[in-house]
Structure 1
Amino acid sequence: MKNIIITGTSRGIGFEMAKLFSEAGHNVLALSRNSKPILALKLKNVSALEFDIADESEIVKLGGYLQTKMKEVDVLINNAGFLVNKPFSKITSEEFKQCYDVNIFGPATLMRTVVPFMKKDGHVVNISSMGGVQGSVKFPGLSAYSSSKGAILTLTELLAEEYKETGPSFNALALGSVQTEMLEEAFPGLKAPLSATEMAKYIVDFSLTGNKFYNGKILQVSSTTP
């Protein structure tokens, strides 16, 4: 039984991961701005907290929760994401900043808070996007989203180097399109090759075993070309 923290659990991949970890008998702390969907499931060994990853004060408060409740973390999955699909000439500074707050600044603060509770064999998994991979096909309208997802990839590599002697391990998964509510909102009518449940199963397995084989790596998880 491992202690797992997942962000972005109100829907999509994060929601499905919480269910899968619970079914496998692990302890889960599900973090999202809306805890009702997870709490409604009444999952075994799953605690849900309302939590805004873009609010640094809420992240700092999480440290107190970890000290009194969970005390040790085996796996942290930075899954929460924010996507804006707008031409660069139309996107506002606030929208650009919100992408970075959710996709890079928030995860960075969360990792600083959680890593002290992790041992050498712990595993931090940052969920990124194929759009953030250098040299990959880029799509108009995703200047804020894809650039922020590129930043989390580089940060993952840097942290793996910085913590290589003490742990935990840091890896990133650059996902292709997955059929989630976020995708439907940004690209109405687009049909992705994988469901949220299918991708959740892959990430759950990787988070539990991937650190035995990888550290500081960016794995491209996409069944389509591009």
Structure 2
Amino acid sequence: MRKNIVITGTSRGIGFEMVQILAEQGHQILALSRNEKPITNLKLPNVTALSCDLGEEKQIKKAVDYVKQNWDAVDVLINNAGLFLKQDFAETKMKDVKKIYEVNVFSVFNLTHQLLPYLSENAHVVTISSMGGVQGSVKFPGLAAYSSSKAAVITLTELLAEEYKEKGPSFNVLALGAVQTEMLAEAFPGFEAPVTAEEMGSYIANFALTGHQFYNGKLLQISNSTP
């Protein structure tokens, strides 16, 4: 059955792979990213790519307006966009911290909030977090802003699932371990992750379509190493 799917953070990495995987299955995709060209260049007939800076309120509204004008409902929302910052705490600038939270937390809150009227009771909202945001997992210096933002969306997911457990939609969050993406290469040059972006994209795509049959309000740790 064809579904209407909104995916954020689609210009590269896992999001880029998910668009192709889900489009090949015949689903209708709205791909949101600051740089829409990588998706537009694919020329997939059932994919619409919009340039959207999720840190900007007006640009989120533009995406919601597209849904309002073109779709009856949203079946799946994948909050995949993320901004990374590796910076010594003593050198951290608050303007940078605010930008991290605008994209990693506030945009998840805002986009989900604005799409809520279009999410059916059977819809599934999947938010991508990180193992760095999971209590008790291995922590790395320099990631105070990034990892704490990823922790915030875990609790947000649990709260939304509780609030909407009677009438839907379902909410789940995936905390990813190391995946070989451009973001990882920029953060940890030379490190080779055991999972490719395509492999993780395939896993998340399948979970987004079926996971709400088994989970709601759950944090799933998608990592093949011990925290």
| TM tier, smaller | over 0.9
Task: Report what 2:11 is aligned to.
Answer: 10
Match of 1:139 in 2: 140
Shift of residue 164, structure 1, vs aligned partner: 0.9
Match of 2:92 in 1: 91
Q: Give, in angstroms, the shift of residue 135 of structure 1.
A: 1.3
Q: Distance in 2 between matches of 1:189 and 1:86?
A: 18
SS in structure 2 at match of 1:136: coil
Give the letter for the 2:54 counterpart: I
Match of 1:69 in 2: 70
Distance 1:134 1:56 in 2: 31
Match of 1:126 in 2: 127
Across the aligned residues of Structure 1 and Structure 2, the Cα RMSD in angstroms comes to 0.8
Question: Structure 2, unaligned stretches of length 5 or more?
Answer: none
Mapping 1:1-226, distance limit 5 Å: 1-226=2-227
Structure 1: which amino acid aligns with 2:29?
A: V
* TM-score of the two chains, using structure 1 as the length reference: 0.98
Residue type of the alignment partner of 2:193: A
Cα deviation for residue 60 of structure 1 reads: 2.1
Aligned partners of 1:199, 1:35: CA distance in 2, in Å?
21
Which of 34-43 and 53-62 deviates more?
Answer: 53-62
Q: Partners of 2:158 and 2:88 in 1: how far apart?
A: 30
Q: Distance in 2 between matches of 1:27 and 1:38?
A: 14
**Overall identity of the aligned pairs, in %:** 60
TM-score of the aligned structures, taking structure 2 as reference length: 0.98
AA aligned opposite 2:118: F
- Separation of aligned partners in 2, 1:63 and 1:34: 18
| Alpha-carbon distance in 2 for matches of 1:164, 1:31 | 27
Give, in whole Å, the separation in 2 of the partners of 1:210 and 1:170.
10
Between stretches 77-86 and 61-70, larger displacement belongs to 61-70
SS of the residue aligned with 2:38? helix
Gaps of 5+ in 1: none
Amino acid at match of 1:206: F
How far the C-alpha of 1:74 sits from its partner, in A, is 0.2
> Which amino acid in 1 is paired with 2:10?
T
Q: Is the 8 A contact 2:50 2:63 kept in 1?
A: no
Distance 1:206 1:95 in 2: 32
Paired residues, what number? 226
> Deviation at 1:71?
2.6
Query: Post-superposition, which runs of at least 4 consecutive aligned residues in structure 1 deviate over 3 A?
Result: none
- What residue identity is the alignment partner of 1:47? T
